[in-house]
Amino acid sequence: MQVEAHLQKIIEKDGKVHLTLIDPASQAPERAAEIALAAVEGGTDAIMIGGSTGASGSILDETVIKIKENVNVPTILFPGNSAGLSKYADAVFFMSLLNSRDIGYIITNQVLGAPLVYRSQIEPISMAYLIVEPGGTVGWVGDAKLIPRKKPEIAAGYALAGKYLGMHYTYLEAGSGTDEPVNSEMIGAVKQVLGENKLIVGGGIRDAKTAKLCVSAGADMIVTGTVVEEVKDVAAKVAEIVSAIKS
Ligand code: 1GP
């Protein structure tokens, strides 16, 4: 499956893409597969699999395998470091945390992980990963020099740098579970400089209204993770968000 081309086709058809993030460290593989299936019933376009802590090894492999047994949408790894790779996934967001102070998250983990991607059939999708205040766990783990919420021009500068370095996607991340998603001003400023390059926004998006605000400001893809772990009716919650962003 050519995942990047597949997502591009969805954008051409529906305008926007919805991605569901599942952290293998948060539940057993069987439950992860149930959540993925419900998210697909709700209309999600692909399943991202990863996390900042503990999303590696056999729990990661088993989670990817179980999800792939249950759904027919792409599985995309969202690795916290080089240990977040699994040969069973369709693709990987091959990303550099451009605003990290730690060279490990900018390039060293990528060097360690690249040979596995090369040997496997996982499709790398190049991505500039930018962490915005408050940043949450990933901001701390990734030693990010957090982009201030009120400085959209700094985010735009990073996004342009990523684009000029050849990265196809830019991800504006506010931190999983945050109460302060990336604001419209920053999303708009980044999308303006990105042009046709794709913008993903995630962190703290829990409802249709917030998701709609993000896509109206310029996000091409919305990620929701925490909310699908919290709600009882995953399909209904995802359907609410999907219908808001694709309408
Ligand atoms: C985290 O942006 C993603 O990396 C998703 O955030 O868990 O808050 O949906 P949530």
Could you give the domains of the chain?
3-246 (3.20.20.390)
- Closest ligand 1 atom to residue 224 Cα is 9
| Residue 99 identity | N
Tell me, using a 6 A CB cutoff, whether residue 203 lines ligand 1. Answer: yes
In SS3 terms, 1-12 reads as CCHHHHHHHHHH
Tell me, using a 6 A CB cutoff, whether residue 52 lines ligand 1. Answer: no
Q: What is the pLDDT of residue 118?
A: 97
Tell me, using a 6 A CB cutoff, whether residue 55 lines ligand 1. Answer: no
Query: Beta-carbon neighbour count of residue 2 at 10 Å?
Result: 12
Determine which helix (DSSP H) or strand (DSSP E) holds 59, and give its type and residue range. helix 57-70
Q: What is the pLDDT of residue 121?
A: 87
The pLDDT tens digits along the chain (247 residues) read: 699 999 999 999 999 999 999 999 999 999 999 999 999 999 999 999 998 888 889 999 999 999 999 999 999 999 999 999 999 999 999 999 999 999 999 999 999 999 999 999 899 999 999 999 999 999 999 999 999 999 999 999 999 999 999 999 999 999 999 999 999 999 999 999 999 999 999 999 999 999 999 999 999 999 999 999 999 999 999 999 999 999 7
